[in-house]
Structure 1
Amino acid sequence: MSQTLPKNAGIPAPDPGRWKALAFIALAQLMVVLDATIVNIALPKAQVDLGISDANKQWVITAYALAFGGLLLFGGRISDLFGRKRTFTIGLIGFALASALGGAATGQALLFGSRALQGVFGALLAPAALSLLAVTFTDAKERAKAFGIFGAIAGGGGAVGLLLGGFLTDSLNWRWTFFVNIPFAVIAAIGAYLYIREPAGTRNRSSLDIPGVLLSTLGLVSLVYGFTRAESAGWSDALTVGSFVAAVVLLAAFIVVEARVKSPLLPLRVLADRNRGGIYLSLGLAVIGMFGLFLFLTYYLQVVKGYSSLSTGFAFLPMVAGMITGSTQIGARLMTRVPPRLLMGPGFLLAAVGMLLLTRLEVGSSYAGVILPGMVLLGLGMGTAFMPAMSMATHGIEPRDAGVASAMVNTSQQVGGAIGTALLNTIAASATTAFVADHAAGATDPKLLQLQALVDGYTSAIWWAVGILVVASAIAFTLINTGKPGTGPVSQGGGTRDADEEEFKVPVIAH
């Protein structure tokens, strides 16, 4: 005979410490995101202190980006294989040790090495954090709120890094931009030990795909290095072109291998899902535009307007506030009521409008009249879009694939950031050179001409960022076609039960 059981039958009870766990997962994510920008502010003083040449200073940024971007998929797979809590904790401890090494660096080699080590442990930590979130929050409404907080931190942490980096560099010295990670990591590791409970039966214990690890790591490193090299040496440089060719060959070979091996590093089923593929692509494109804003507004405020490092950080706070509002008050509240594409598409479009306002920048533009409204709109738009993107990237995924799906979110952001920095900076530099060539003959004030040329370069690149955000919006509208998530419980892998399904009927043997 058949007996009707309650809808929640078979669903594990929510972890009572889940909100405390979220606080420590979010703290770890903040540390990783901060590190992408906090060192940028300190770089000029570190360069002088350690005698780093202009040709080599890029390696402070590049060493981190190469290790982090190249090893993210591997880090995601490790968390699936050996446990997310364990990988998360090892990532935190390693990141703290690497930061201590960087803060104590006595020469450029040690500084570059510490940045690479930060990237290695960040690649373990970041996907483990996101996948822990995915398997900890099993109610759709709670999940929306949790990912709203996480998305706000992921989106706004870079700007907070500029503020904190400016404060530490101005009031202490550049070494504290490294040392500050140590208390973050220690507190998060203690919290992880006390409050994070990884659900049973969610690991993927299959063998490690060594060829996949090598091909994906080398392919992503070649891709990131190619864009970084293009920024300094130009797009036609032989090593730049060679890096791109190598990236295409290696990543194509990676896809072939993944389709054939028994236990792939990146199961193609993760990418084959139309919604998930659309999220990775649109998120990566949106980050290109975001990094363009950080890059050019930082230079504009400091070089053109004469702001200090700390003042520049404060100038970015309205955008952070916009992101937090968009993520927690718009994205999280509407996530369970409307389809994700109706948050991501309009969100990226609103961000494009904010970016469009910034194309009006001139040497004499006021902060309140041009920069502030542009920043607020950009923050609101990106916060609204980031939240469902973070949540849906792991939504409906099998528990065994949660780590690698989370790693793909971080990979799309990291590769997008590297591409954005190189591509938009190259466009800006070319426009600046062309402006000087066109206006040099009639110029009476060389210094003013240089500032005008810089601003013309920035606005030229920002126009490209506007276009990229519009494309990201179009991809979100067209590729992401899932309906609104249900409000009932979700599985440990993140799948949602139908919202209108009232009960489950299972066969029960009569006694």
Structure 2
Amino acid sequence: MARSSGVRPGLALAVVAVVQFMVSLDLSVVNVALPGIATGLGFSAVGLTWVIHAYALTFGGLLLLGGKAADRYGRKRVLLFGLSLFALASLAGGLAQGPAQLVAARAVQGMGAAALAPAALALLTATFPTGRARVRAFGVWSATNAAGGALGVLIGGLLTQYAGWRWVMFVNVPMAACALALTWRGIPAGSRTVRGGRPDVLGATLATAGMTLLVFGVVRTDRHGWTSPVTLTTLAAAASLLVVFIRVERTTTREPLIRLGLFANRSVAGANTYNLLAGAAMTPAFYFVSLYLQRVLGTGPARTGTMFLPFTFGLIAGSLLAVRLGYRLVPRVLLVIGGLLTAIGLAWFGLISPGGTFTADVLGPSIVAGAGFGLCLGPVVSIATAGVAPHEAGTASGLLNSSRQIGASLGLAALSTAAQHRIGRTVTPESLNDGYALGLTLGAVLLVAAVLVALTVVRRTSPPAQAERTGERDVMPVQD
């Protein structure tokens, strides 16, 4: 196994695991606490949504800049900066005395996450470049990623009910402190992989603004139809900003935020498209299942959190199974199998009924969808980063994280709008059930589309075991 100079693999893996768990946890832990936050700080119904949007938009929009910073300034330095910013913002959010303070803290949290997430993944990629160790490392990464996101609902419900909503913010502080200590003492500074040029802040601003307007335009279709002047103007402005972003990336005299030539690699393009579609399906699935349990079946927040445990166990089991299969099977096969299993689970969820029960309507599809999703998390990351030059590892990592966040934002906006149209103006348990079922079924369709991308875009490669026997350079080669 090749190693990054001076990096102890076990310690690097521990740092990455804590960081990924914390970031994934924060994406879901706040959701169950939203009613308590609204009561405690006096949020309006519309204003409350910005507790989620402020974090998601800065996180997803600045991930590419975070990846570039990791390449340019060094992974350890960017990790320390991101962890410090994330911890301070979490503390400030827990101490917030008004809506504006909490929204600002959440936005800064997203900035910190945008710095530390790609730096941690780039550290993992550099420390475990080949062989069985790489498969195992990405299995650990995917397991902690999955567990953080799934356990966030459980932890959020328990903290909200028994400790108060502020603790969904405070919970990040000790985790960030632990990761800071491990990084400071155990990860060497290393050398910068990129020199010269200044970061493309303009590109990052254009990308973030464009995606923000795009999500805003989709969300607003519940008030303004798709063909209304307001929606068309907003979407046109978003498209214009994104077109300008692409032009800036092609012509800037600074260091481009992303080298557009990366997308010429079919595996990089395919993995990111797969990731975007998976994010667009799974984030709304968490949302709809949580609402189904609470608003249709009348389950409380803490108990709702415990009902996500089968999904969590399925995710972890799928991630561990990916480690065992990942050395024998082509990564693309794991993406196809995992995507199909997840689609089956979401389609099964689409059969929920107003008079349903946890055992009959939630348990089975949770296990199937969780196992399938866990099975494809590690392989998609490995495919998207293994064929990238070392000096672009942070950029590729940021791109992959960004595609997931962008997909999550767009998917939640679009599928929630479709569900709301199905629910209609008369809200009953039956109408809510119909809307949530539609959203879950559409999520299954998105995952089938992801499988088609894996089959048609991602390159065929040799199984890792065969590649190692024949002396190929990387266990999962993806370069065209």
TM over 0.5: yes
Partner of 1:52: 43
Matching of residues 364-403 of structure 1 within 5 Å:
364-403=355-394
Runs of 5+ unmatched residues, structure 2: 474-480
Partner of 2:329: 338
State TM-score, norm by structure 2: 0.93
Return the alpha-carbon distance in structure 2 between the equivalents of residues 199 and 332 of structure 1.
29
Return the alpha-carbon distance in structure 2 between the equivalents of residues 402 and 502 of structure 1.
20
Q: 1:194 to 1:499 in 2, by over 3 A?
A: farther
> Does structure 1 residue 462 correspond to structure 2 residue 440?
yes
Return the alpha-carbon distance in structure 1 between the equivalents of residues 195 and 266 of structure 2.
23
Partner of 2:320: 328
Q: Which moved more, 1:167-176 or 1:213-222?
A: 213-222
Q: 1:13 to 1:298 in 2, by over 3 A?
A: closer
1:430 CA displacement: 0.7
**3-state SS of 2:386 partner:** coil
1:487 CA displacement: 5.5
1:253 CA displacement: 2.0
Bigger Rg over Cα: 1
Asked if 1 retains the 8 angstrom alpha-carbon contact of 2:213 and 2:238, the reply is yes
Q: Could you tell me which amino acid in structure 1 is paired with residue 470 of structure 2?
A: D
Asked if 2 retains the 8 angstrom alpha-carbon contact of 1:258 and 1:267, the reply is yes
Asked if 1 retains the 8 angstrom alpha-carbon contact of 2:215 and 2:413, the reply is no
Match of 1:289 among 277, 281, 306: 281
Deviations 1:23-80 (A, max 9, x none): 2211111111111111111110110111111121111111112211221111111111
1:17 CA displacement: 2.2
Q: Could you tell me which amino acid in structure 2 is paired with residue 470 of structure 1?
A: V
Number of positions where the alignment pairs a residue of Structure 1 with one of Structure 2: 472
Match of 1:181 among 154, 167, 172: 172
Q: 1:210 to 1:419 in 2, by over 3 A?
A: closer
Partner of 2:452: 474
1:196 CA displacement: 2.4
Asked if 1 retains the 8 angstrom alpha-carbon contact of 2:249 and 2:258, the reply is yes
**3-state SS of 2:48 partner:** coil
Asked if 1 retains the 8 angstrom alpha-carbon contact of 2:21 and 2:148, the reply is yes
The CA RMSD measured in Å over matched residues stands at 2.2
Partner of 1:409: 400
Asked if 2 retains the 8 angstrom alpha-carbon contact of 1:292 and 1:424, the reply is yes
Q: Report the structure, 1 or 2, having the larger helix content.
A: 2
Asked if 1 retains the 8 angstrom alpha-carbon contact of 2:209 and 2:241, the reply is yes
Partner of 1:78: 69
Partner of 1:307: 299
Return the alpha-carbon distance in structure 1 between the equivalents of residues 69 and 437 of structure 2.
42
Q: Could you tell me which amino acid in structure 2 is paired with residue 369 of structure 1?
A: A
Return the alpha-carbon distance in structure 2 between the equivalents of residues 403 and 231 of structure 1.
37
Return the alpha-carbon distance in structure 1 between the equivalents of residues 382 and 182 of structure 2.
23
Asked if 2 retains the 8 angstrom alpha-carbon contact of 1:485 and 1:499, the reply is no
Return the alpha-carbon distance in structure 2 between the equivalents of residues 502 and 357 of structure 1.
41
1:501 CA displacement: 2.7
**3-state SS of 1:55 partner:** helix
1:236 CA displacement: 4.8
Runs of 5+ unmatched residues, structure 1: 1-7, 437-448, 489-496, 504-511
State TM-score, norm by structure 1: 0.87
Q: Which moved more, 1:196-205 or 1:125-134?
A: 196-205
Return the alpha-carbon distance in structure 2 between the equivalents of residues 357 and 12 of structure 1.
44
Deviations 1:100-122 (A, max 9, x none): 11111111111111111111111
1:333 CA displacement: 1.8
> Does structure 1 residue 195 correspond to structure 2 residue 213?
no
Partner of 2:477: none
Q: Could you tell me which amino acid in structure 1 is paired with residue 448 of structure 2?
A: V
Partner of 1:223: 214
1:211 CA displacement: 3.6
